[in-house]
Chains A and B, each alone.
Chain A
């Protein structure tokens, strides 16, 4: 486990604020590209999709922290809250791109949430992330107590599945990429099932 020791040593030297500082940038960068022609001739859809993918990728990173530690001893636990908060930030940016730039019409936004299953699923995922974002501070952790806090934050699992299903549902035709995201997220969740954990330790 020399690799794990090296990585863990490096992790100790990287401050958490650096993860926040770097993580905030991609949506801002995409927005800048969208303004200056870097996202092609239809920048609204491109911005929406790129930030949506960022959110899914960050969700995968969050879900990977625990299995990575169990399987390889690489410990990224220090960054997990930052990754979770950044996930919420990306999902919010994705939602805002859709609301403000794409749909534009408040009446239609509500109709779409009710009528279009992939939007209903996506919005449900966002709604589940809200209480997690609100309780992502030490004060909430103390107030809720670690047990209840941890139970609440298992909503991440449901939100991740909803996010992946949202992506599968909006693709036209049988496209590979959304299915790969769904498979990775399902796999990371499956690793948490008690029988999978027993099988590995046995």
Chain B
């Protein structure tokens, strides 16, 4: 789909998107190495066709769903979202994708389910970073069911009107724009509905530093750096920092999900 051919979304920001080069050359995707340029350098060798996603747990129609079969049932639209990395940098990305809720409706989530968990592909022969125990592979993430069903939450399949570049999580990745970027798990091969809070990789690695929720919050610092400000990637050597917004600026849409919760504790 060329850019603009997909339906425009009321959820898109009017902020100026980063360039395609910004978005595809500066990535955290530790499966391909810990350097920001490693994903661009090494992700080309990843085979993304054929691709299927195992959907299991508390769903009515568990099974292995082919990527093309999923796409045939979904309406893809452009969502221009702000992206805030936990490392205090940010971008604006014109994603192409569909709402996760639409896929959940197709497989039918049982009433007893309370969380949705996700897993990234493990294929060390094509993902050289997985040869080292930098993280406990496979990369895992999870959302509360109401977060997963929120209309802002999408499964993205492309950006700038092109199929998803491998370094950005081809062919299918989560995007949850009010949470730190690492929650938006890449190259998904498994989606599970569960009744208890699932494990998530960074939380397992350093629970003091990365909470399960990981909502963007300028008032809760990472123990090693402040989260009050961020730097938009692409501004050059003298780029100024800008203030980070609560829920990455999506408070009107999502603050009600956390009414009554102590966000200092549930960070």
Contact = CB atoms under 8 A, between A and B. Distances in A.
B30 A173 contact: yes
A47 B226 CA distance: 20
Contacts of B252: none
The interface residues of chain B, by DSSP majority, are classed as loop
Interface in B219-236: 221, 223-226, 228-229, 231, 233-234, 236
Contact of B241 (A42, A104, A175): A104
Nearest to A35: B237
Given A34-B237, A112-B226, A41 B34 contact: no
A45 B233 CA distance: 10
A174 B134 contact: yes
B142 to A, nearest CB: 19
B241 A176 contact: no
Interface string B17-47: 0010110011000100010110000000000
Contacts of B267: none
Contact of B132 (A42, A44, A116, A176): A176
A108 B26 contact: no
- For B87, B234, B239, the residue with the greatest tally of chain A CB atoms inside 10 Å of its CB is B239
Contacts of B73: none
B22 A44 contact: no
Nearest to B239: A44
B236 A40 contact: no
B37 A40 contact: yes
A43 interface: yes
B258 interface: no
Contacts of B134: 173-176
B240 interface: yes
Contacts of A173: 30, 34, 134-135, 205
Interface string B122-140: 0000000000111100000
A77 interface: no
A121 B135 CA distance: 25
Interface in A7-47: 31, 34-35, 40-45, 47
A42 B233 contact: yes
Interface string B180-207: 0000000000000000000000000100
The interface residues of chain A, by DSSP majority, are classed as helix
A43 B241 contact: no
Contacts of A40: 25-26, 36-37
Contact of B226 (A42, A101, A108): A108
Contacts, number: 64
A47 B237 contact: yes
Interface residues of B, number: 32
A172 B210 CA distance: 11
A42 B225 contact: no
Contact of A44 (B36, B133, B225, B231): B231
B89 interface: yes
Contacts of A101: 237-238
B244 to A, nearest CB: 13
Contacts of A41: 19, 21-22, 25-26, 233-234
- For A31, A40, A111, A176, the residue with the greatest tally of chain B CB atoms inside 10 Å of its CB is A40
Given A173-B205, A174-B133, A44 B237 contact: yes
Contacts of B238: 101
Interface string B210-224: 000000000001011
Given A40-B25, A108-B226, A172 B34 contact: yes
Nearest to B201: A173
Contacts of A105: 229, 241
Contacts of A44: 231, 237, 239
B34 A42 contact: no
A43 B133 contact: no
Contacts of A90: none
Closest 5 CB pairs of A and B: A173-B134, A34-B237, A41-B22, A43-B237, A41-B26
Given A115-B221, A173-B205, A176-B134, 7 more contacts: A40-B36, A45-B89, A101-B237, A169-B224, A172-B34, A173-B30, A174-B132
7 contacts: A40-B26, A104-B240, A108-B228, A117-B224, A170-B224, A173-B34, A173-B134
